[in-house]
Structure 1
Amino acid sequence: EITVGTGDGKRYLLLSQFPIDARHHDSEKVIILTDITDMKLRLMHENTMLLNKTYVDRLTGLYNRYYITDPESPFYSSGDQPDTIALLFIDADNFKAQNDTYGHLAGDDILCELADCIRESIPDGACAVRYGGDEFIVVLSGDHAYDAQEVAERIRNRASELDLSHIGADAKLSLSIGLVCGSPPLVELIDRADRAMYTSKRRGKNTVTAEQGDIA
């Protein structure tokens, strides 16, 4: 398969060659180039759609939990995981009460607002995940891991400033966030960050708790 750059994009060609004399493979050959661009683009589109169905949360457009828990996902495809990862475990405070008060559609709206808040607060290259319900995870690697506390506070502050008056007069959003830094496996970091998040809950909610000894 050959990729050729053109003025209007890339073309994908399939090169086939056959010896003129089948009895002598080193004889002169017939070379056939077949333009497979349409087929290639269709397959790429179908593959993207499949990945989206598998690893993207339909409500918020963020990645879903399988993106960071399935070893076959693109998250692990590079095979080169960083030595240090910072992980934020984010939980919306009192979400169930607001969901019960304003209804499930309003609850979905709050989750989408929170997803946008997270998306706008994290650096390029960070991974934002809706882990389930009103729980979200952000994975920061490389130099960004050292900015984890700042990123967590930015998310928390933006969430508290969201105008949710279109949902209800008393609708508001605050977050309890747990922060850990360490080396993979990710499942252990998630568990530790979850426990740090519950410490934030016990401290009165609307706060960030970093596991002792973490990068800040």
Structure 2
Amino acid sequence: MSADDELGTGEAAPDLLTLHESIADLFATRGDWRRAYRHLRSALDIARAGSLRDPLTSSYNRRYLDQRLPELPAAVAVALVDLDRFKSVNDTYGHLLGDRVLCRVADLLQEGLPADAFCARYGGEEFALVLPGIDHRGAVRVADAARRRVARHPWSELRPGLRVTISVGLAHGTGSGPRQLHRADNLLYAAKRAGRNKVAFHDRETAQVITHSE
């Protein structure tokens, strides 16, 4: 039986990080430094990846967003997403259900994203959708499709009477990723002021708001 077999047989398997560390320790005690090093590298890769993920929603976190944005081309589109009246969800249904709502919204936001795009939890009930290599119309379609998915989701299955919508500020054009994020933040407030459950974006230097068609 191999060292991996010895550590893999048990009623409850440990998480991958602990598993690689344990295997590395076992190989080290046997003097097999090559295999020990291989598993230590795997543990390090897992730990590094985990530090870039939000522990609640499993989407990327603010740290990952801050690292990636400066590396992206100037044509990147950034959508800043905020759950509408999320405080009332927590106050009415409790924080445990609020956490479930955040996780479900994160899943819905990540559905159908273009290649190279990603979703990151920006903080609290805010998420960022980063859309590299996409034109203005395509970015609007992606942002509004995400808004519609959230609005049409059967939230009452989680709790009768529950309804969840999002507002989105979408920035697209020339400028660095961090600058686009700042623009998206300003546009998010325009979507909120327009009544929520909307996407706001600049079109020909005018703030145009797309209203939902339901």
TM-score (norm 1): 0.73
Q: Partners of 2:82 and 2:55 in 1: how far apart? A: 19
Identify the structure with the greater helix proportion.
Answer: 2
Q: SS at 2:200's partner residue?
A: strand
Report what 2:139 is aligned to. Answer: 148
Flag structure 1 segments of 5+ consecutive residues without an equivalent.
1-33
Are residues 123 and 37 of structure 1, via their aligned partners in 2, closer, same or farther at CA, if it must alter by over 3 Å? farther
Residue of structure 1 in register with 2:65 after alignment: 68
Query: Which residue among 26, 40, 43 is the counterpart of 1:42?
Result: 40
Gaps in structure 2 of 5+ consecutive residues? 1-31, 209-214
Alpha-carbon distance in 1 for matches of 2:72, 2:153: 35
| SS at structure 1 position matched to 2:134 | helix
How many residue pairs get aligned? The number is 175
1:213: how far off?
Answer: 3.3
**Residue correspondence of structure 1 range 1-216 to structure 2 within 5 A:** 36-52=34-50, 54-70=51-67, 75=68, 81-143=72-134, 147-213=138-204
Task: Give the alignment's TM-score, normalised by structure 2.
Answer: 0.74
2:73–2:176 Cα contact (<8 Å) kept: no
Structure 1 stretches of at least 4 aligned residues deviating more than 6 Å after TM superposition:
none
Shift of 1:146: 5.0
How far apart, in 2, do the equivalents of 1:94 and 1:80 lie? 33
Tell me, in whole angstroms, the C-alpha distance in 2 between the residues paired with 1:48 and 1:185: 30
Structure-2 separation of matches of 1:164 and 1:199? 26
Report the structure number with the largest CA radius of gyration: 1
Offset at residue 144 of structure 1 (A): 6.0
What letter matches 1:43 in structure 2?
Answer: R
Q: Describe the superposition over 1:35-91 as per-residue Cα deviations: whole angstroms up to 9, x where unpaired.
A: 835522431332222331x21100000001111214xxxx37xx9632300000101
C-alpha separation between the residues in 1 aligned to 2:115 and 2:40? 29
Q: Percent identity?
A: 33
Q: Contact 1:117/1:158 (CA < 8 Å) preserved in 2?
A: yes
Instruction: Flag the 1:144–1:128 CA change in 2: closer, same or farther, 3 A.
Output: farther
SS, match of residue 69 in structure 1: helix
- Kindly indicate which of the two structures has a greater share of residues assigned to strand: 1
Matched to 2:132, the amino acid is S
